[in-house]
Amino acid sequence: MQKYLKSAGKIAATGLTAVALAVASGAANAEDTKLRIQTHFSPETLSGQMAAEFIEDITAMSNGEIKVEMFYSGSVVKAAETFDAAATGILDCDMTGGAYQTGKNPAFQFTGDLNGGYQNPYQQMAWLLHADGYAQLNKLYNEHNMEFIGWWIPGPESLSSTKPIRGVDDFKNWKFRSPPGIISLIFKNLGASPIVMDFNEIFTALESGIIDGADAANLTNNVGLGLYDIAEHTNFPGFHSMPADHLACRKDVWDKMPAHHQAILKVGMQALALKNTSINEVKNAQTAKELRAKGINLYEWSPEEMGKYRDAVQAGWTEFATTPEAKELLESHLSFLRDLGAMK
């Protein structure tokens, strides 16, 4: 009898252990976070490769609890529609850029690119990390059912063109692919003809002569897009634009994540930002050498021409900031730049 009771006790203990393991397993599964994310970059570009590395990082840091299905090159919806697709549940997160949403509120321009305000990515990241940037951005994002999670900033971009772009005068009657937002206004005021289009449309538009050039990305990503196979003119160092691509997720998706998943995504974006900025510095310097060797014309603008562009930029800021939210965000950036001594 005693032997039977011991045996029964072992069975019961084993059963309880199995139940405990099942409960623990269920709890772990309950904490899985599944995300559908779209980026406007193609997987072949440097930025596309960095996005894939970000996914690997957050998967490893979460021990596989964060599971991402990534869509590249606007494969689900067009780049400018990604934010809405995430906000309405077609996707979960948007990995494009805030400037696509300026039609909702011009304040979104100042969530990503001051077009000549910051001199380098480190200054702009400093605003985000040390000037209450997260809270200020989420005042706007939350109004649209989204949560801003982080930035990654490749650095100043370079234009590509089938015509010389030696200074401001070369922009007159220059038809070019432009992202939406203030950059279209600035270049239009300088005499150019901006046409908003997706990344995957640029090559064909250049090849067919629909456009003369493109504001697409930095030197290295422009190479990845094949633009210098057609466009023999560019500028380096870049100066006109330094967009910050964001990761933003639907508010309810973000709110229901465990705190450690939220931390992993946020810190993962900060790591991506550092890796992306630094590798682009290296790659762009190498790419510049390679392009010169291939006969591509790289123009470095004179201080006088840069002054003309910056005058147009500052006029554009004032003209574009037409809502209270836009004025508040712009002033936050400008106040920070003044404190740094980077602007009067």
3-state DSSP call for residue 137?
Answer: helix
User: Does residue 3 lie within any of the structural domains?
Assistant: no
Strand-pairing partners, residue 246, are 151
User: Does residue 59 lie within any of the structural domains?
Assistant: yes
CATH code (residue 223): 3.40.190.170
Per-residue tokens: 342: 């980077």
Range list of β-strands (E), the chain? 33-39, 66-71, 93-95, 146-152, 158-161, 175-178, 193-196, 213-217, 233-235, 245-250, 297-299
Question: How many domains, in total, are found in the chain?
Answer: 2
Q: What pLDDT was estimated at residue 29?
A: 55
Does residue 179 or residue 60 have the better pLDDT?
60
Does residue 199 or residue 11 have the better pLDDT?
199
Residue 102 confidence (pLDDT) above 80: yes
Residue 1 confidence (pLDDT) above 90: no
Average pLDDT on 146-154 reads 96
Q: How far apart are CA 320 and CA 300, in angstroms?
A: 28
DSSP 10-77: HHHHHHHHHHHHHHHHHHHHHT-EEEEEEESS-TTSHHHHHHHHHHHHHHHHTTT-EEEEEE-TTSSS
Domain shared by 235 and 126, yes or no: no
User: Does residue 215 lie within any of the structural domains?
Assistant: yes
Domain shared by 225 and 247, yes or no: no
Domain shared by 178 and 322, yes or no: yes
3-state DSSP call for residue 220?
Answer: helix
pLDDT digits (tens, 9 = 90+) for 65-90: 999 999 999 899 999 999 999 999 99
For residue 191, what are the domain limits? Answer: 158-242+293-340
Residue 33 confidence (pLDDT) above 90: yes
State the pTM of this model.
Answer: 0.81
Domain shared by 79 and 196, yes or no: no
Strand duo 245-250 + 93-95: pairing:
antiparallel
Q: What pLDDT was estimated at residue 12?
A: 44
Domain shared by 127 and 247, yes or no: yes
Which is nearest to 342 in space by CA: 157, 113, 155, 118?
118
Q: What pLDDT was estimated at residue 18?
A: 42
Domain shared by 55 and 197, yes or no: no
User: Does residue 190 lie within any of the structural domains?
Assistant: yes
Which is nearest to 71 in space by CA: 35, 38, 34?
38
Q: Is the N-terminal amide bond of 237 cis, ω within 30° of 0? A: yes
Q: What pLDDT was estimated at residue 117?
A: 86
The pLDDT confidence band at residue 30, using thresholds 50, 70 and 90, is low
Judging by beta carbons within 10 Å of its beta carbon (0-12, 13-18, 19+), is residue 13 exposed, middle or buried?
A: exposed
Average pLDDT on 280-301 reads 96
Percent of the chain as helix, strand, coil, to the nearest 5: 55, 15, 30
Domain shared by 125 and 76, yes or no: yes
Q: What pLDDT was estimated at residue 6?
A: 47
Contact in structure between 38 and 94 (CB atoms under 8 Å): yes
The pLDDT confidence band at residue 27, using thresholds 50, 70 and 90, is very low
Domain shared by 111 and 65, yes or no: yes
Domain shared by 178 and 267, yes or no: no
Contact in structure between 122 and 277 (CB atoms under 8 Å): yes
- Average pLDDT of the chain to the nearest whole number: 90
Domain shared by 182 and 59, yes or no: no
User: Does residue 22 lie within any of the structural domains?
Assistant: no
User: Does residue 24 lie within any of the structural domains?
Assistant: no
Domain shared by 199 and 62, yes or no: no
Domain shared by 250 and 305, yes or no: no
Average pLDDT on 236-246 reads 91
